[in-house]
Amino acid sequence: MSVKRLQRLEILLAGLVTVAIFAGAVSTWWLWDVSRRVPYGVWVAASLMISLMVTSAGLVVLSRVLGQLRRLESAIRQMHATNRLLTIPDANYPNVKDVVLALNDLVAAIESRQQRQHERLVELEQAKAVFDQLQEYQEGFLETINHQVRTPLTSITEGIELLRDGAVGTISHEQGDIIHMLDQNAQRLEQLVEEALDLSLMTSGRRPLYRKPDNVQELLRQVVAAWATTSQQRIVTEFSAELPLVYMDSSAIRDVMDHVMRNALRHAPERSQITVGARGSNETAIEIWVQDQGPGMSSEQLAKLFLPFVHVHTPYAPGSQGSGLGLALCRQIIERHHGTIHATSQPGHGMVVAFTLPLASPAFLFAEACRDAREDAEYGRGRYGVVLATGADDPGSLAEAERALREHTHEGDRFVWLSPDLLAIVAVTDRLGLEAMTRRLRDVLGQAHLNVRLASAIFPEDGESPARLLEIARSRFHENGQGARNE
Amino acid sequence: MNRPCQKRILIGEDDQSILKMTTLRLEHEGYAVVTATNGEEVLHQVKEAPSVDLILIDIKMPRLNGYQVCQQLKSQPDTAGIPVIIFSASESQLQHLANRCIEVGASDWIKKPFRTKDLLEKIHRAFGEEGNGDV
């Protein structure tokens, strides 16, 4: 109830109180028959005066209470209008005073919370400034490595090769030895620069991965063949029966294998055996491992193995031969493939470095397409949609439909075959866009006389997980029934 | 050593050491080499020595950069047929670099620091695909 309404109520109450007291006084006179002692006129005047005095006193009290309530209301409205917290003026009357004290306590608590939030915000802004600065340093580092280090390195390696090849005259045996040493060191420097750059690009996410379903067995055979020609150890393979396709950037995984092989060969004795193996780890991943017969490592050494700039010394590799970055880079690459990498060893029993890669199963590819779409959607309206297509009677028509659908969708839309009769299209769009897209694709299929049904679901309204979106879209095939059929 | 009938290669590179090393290597491989140290000089040299069979240019060059030089060469009928290979030290956006090279009409590109055998491979490929064999 507002104070203005209370004002009207106050006048009404005052009138009623006056009338009630006056009526009471007159009734008393009448009932108790006091007229003999007090004349009627005096009694009426006295009654009227008393009732007016009581009413006036009541009105004074009421108006003061209302005045304090008005100040309270005004302070609250001012806070609302200015969006700033104010201390409400103190009040005399006990109940109003309690309300004012409670409100002032609330204001103080909110102010204190706001202050803490402000302090946290300042801390966050400072942290962001530091982060931005670090990113700038990283950019500067990459730029320096790129141009200021690699360019002179080009000249050094070129010059060494020209001398070695006798392009500027014949060289003596001793000169040849020095040139060979220069060449070895230039190669080490080149490897260090490449690995530092790769690690920076991989860590910052600036190196894109081009992942696709690929044959890891073939890649491992190539790696083994390449290393077998240069290593003094015997390299054997141990693959389980035909391995399923994995989802990988084969060039990046080739780098991983090269680093893991280099590490194994460095720590293993000559003429020992290196085993390269692969097997299904579980239903969603395969495991690839490289086992050596070296002296192994302690648990302390293993704990540091995948950290950058760490050199692990063993009897066969006592010096700092590598850059100390290779296995750290491997970890980055494998983690960006949603895999894991680890090493196991016991001193004296060699070491196994093993990593997993996800199988290119339809469920994984669909989840990956949804994950990518969700990341892309973050730059827009935060929505992506799934359109499912199924060949109602003839699954063969779906393959034909895919060509038509690809022609009428955007380049960035992701197509995933979930089963021979179910094709999913994952597209970054909002609900209206998804509905328009589905209608357009239905028209396209109808014009091509393809008996293919479509159903769709949108993230996140219809479901937050890829599995839920799939379930909802599938259920709509049944809901839509014949309505979704293109005839 | 294989001397493929003295084909003439123009190198545009502002880094003197790379220019010197690449020149020595290509001469050692039997090519005739003309050099330039900025973009304008590359265009001038092409006019002065019209029998250039291949051009190697760095992206980062004074006056005109490698892309601009390549675009100008490809816009002139008498130089449009000369294959161009671009040098670059840029690592961060390889895909962008590849696309840009295709856009300006370069035959190929090579990332610095390059190994001589990689550069020679690209030169042989450029001649194999686009060279007219005349010297």
Supply A59's token pair: 């009105």
Contact B24 A168 (CB under 8 A): yes
- More confident position, A398 or A154: A398
Those of residues 131-190 in A touching chain B at CB distance below 8 A are 142, 146-147, 150-155, 157-159, 161-162, 165, 167-168, 190
> Which residues in chain B have their CB less than 8 angstroms from residue A158's CB?
18, 21-22, 25, 113, 116
* In the predicted structure, residue A400 carries a pLDDT above the cut 70: yes
Domain boundary among A82, A102, A117: A82
Is ipTM over 0.95? no
CA distance A138 to A193: 14
Supply B55's token pair: 């051009």
The pLDDT, as a whole number, for residue B130 is 45
Mutating which of B15, B91, B112 best tests the A interface, going by the most A Cβ atoms within 10 A?
B91
The DSSP secondary-structure symbol of A325 reads: -
Domain boundary among A58, A82, A106: A82
Domain boundary among A305, A339, A358: A358
Coil, strand, or helix at residue A291? strand
Q: Which residues pair with residue B56 across a beta bridge?
A: B11, B85
State the average pLDDT over residues B89-108.
73
> Which residues in chain B have their CB less than 8 angstroms from residue A165's CB?
28
| Single-letter amino acid, residue A422 | L
Contact B17 A153 (CB under 8 A): no
Residue A331 lies in a domain: yes
Interface contacts A/B by beta carbons within 8 Å? 57
Q: Tell me: do A321 and A287 sit in the same domain.
A: yes
Residue A120 lies in a domain: no
Task: For residue A9, give its domain range.
Answer: 3-82
| Single-letter amino acid, residue A31 | L
Helix or strand holding residue A31 (H, E): helix A3-32
Which domains, from first to last, does chain B contain?
Answer: 8-126 (3.40.50.2300)
| Single-letter amino acid, residue A342 | H
Q: What is the CATH number of the domain that holds A222?
A: 3.30.565.10
The pLDDT, as a whole number, for residue B131 is 41
If pLDDT is split at 50, 70 and 90, which confidence band does A88 have? confident
State the average pLDDT over residues A29-47.
70
Question: Residue A416 in contact with residue A369, Cβ under 8 Å?
Answer: yes
> Which residues in chain A have their CB less than 8 angstroms from residue B118's CB?
none
* In the predicted structure, residue A482 carries a pLDDT above the cut 50: no
CA separation (Å) from A25 to A14, A17, A51?
17, 12, 9
Residue A125 lies in a domain: no
Residue A99 lies in a domain: no
Q: Tell me: do A196 and A227 sit in the same domain.
A: no
Residue A93 lies in a domain: no
Coil, strand, or helix at residue A83? coil
Q: Tell me: do A354 and A367 sit in the same domain.
A: no
Contact B18 A154 (CB under 8 A): yes
Q: Tell me: do A273 and A168 sit in the same domain.
A: no
Coil, strand, or helix at residue A357? strand
> Which residues in chain B have their CB less than 8 angstroms from residue A155's CB?
15, 17-18, 20-21
> Cβ atoms within 10 A of the Cβ of B128, count?
8
Q: Tell me: do A33 and A158 sit in the same domain.
A: no
* In the predicted structure, residue A313 carries a pLDDT above the cut 90: no
Q: Tell me: do A395 and A460 sit in the same domain.
A: yes
Residue A117 lies in a domain: no
Question: Residue B14 in contact with residue A153, Cβ under 8 Å?
Answer: no
CA distance A40 to A22: 13
Residue B5 to chain A, least CA–CA distance (Å): 19
The string over A438-447, giving b where at least 16 C-beta atoms fall within 10 Å of a residue's C-beta and e elsewhere, is: beebbebbee
Q: Tell me: do A280 and A226 sit in the same domain.
A: yes
Q: Could you tell me which of A266, A461, A285 has the C-alpha nearest to residue A361?
A: A285
Mutating which of A158, A170, A183, A194 best tests the B interface, going by the most B Cβ atoms within 10 A?
A158
Q: Tell me: do A307 and A324 sit in the same domain.
A: yes
Q: Tell me: do A367 and A480 sit in the same domain.
A: yes
**A115-129, B22-36, B58-72, range with the lowest pLDDT:** B58-72
Q: Tell me: do A289 and A247 sit in the same domain.
A: yes
Q: Tell me: do A299 and A422 sit in the same domain.
A: no
Q: Is the C-alpha dihedral spanning A72, A77, A80, A82 positive or negative?
A: negative
Q: How many CA atoms lie within 13 A of A227 on its CB side?
A: 28
Give me the phi and psi of A132, to 5 degrees please: -60, -40
Residue B28 to chain A, least CA–CA distance (Å): 6
Q: Tell me: do A158 and A240 sit in the same domain.
A: no
CA separation (Å) from A283 to A212, A338, A364, A418, A469?
18, 15, 11, 16, 22
Residue A105 lies in a domain: no
CA separation (Å) from A422 to A182, A401, A440, A455, B94?
60, 11, 19, 11, 36
State the average pLDDT over residues B117-124.
89
Mutating which of B92, B96, B110 best tests the A interface, going by the most A Cβ atoms within 10 A?
B92
> Which residues in chain B have their CB less than 8 angstroms from residue A150's CB?
89, 112-113
Q: How many CA atoms lie within 13 A of A297 on its CB side?
A: 24
Q: What is the CATH number of the domain that holds A408?
A: 3.30.70.270
State the average pLDDT over residues A291-297.
89
Give me the phi and psi of A400, to 5 degrees please: -65, -40
Residue A94 lies in a domain: no
Q: Is the C-alpha dihedral spanning A463, A464, A466, A467 positive or negative?
A: negative
Q: Which residues pair with residue A427 across a beta bridge?
A: A385
Total domains present in chain A: 4
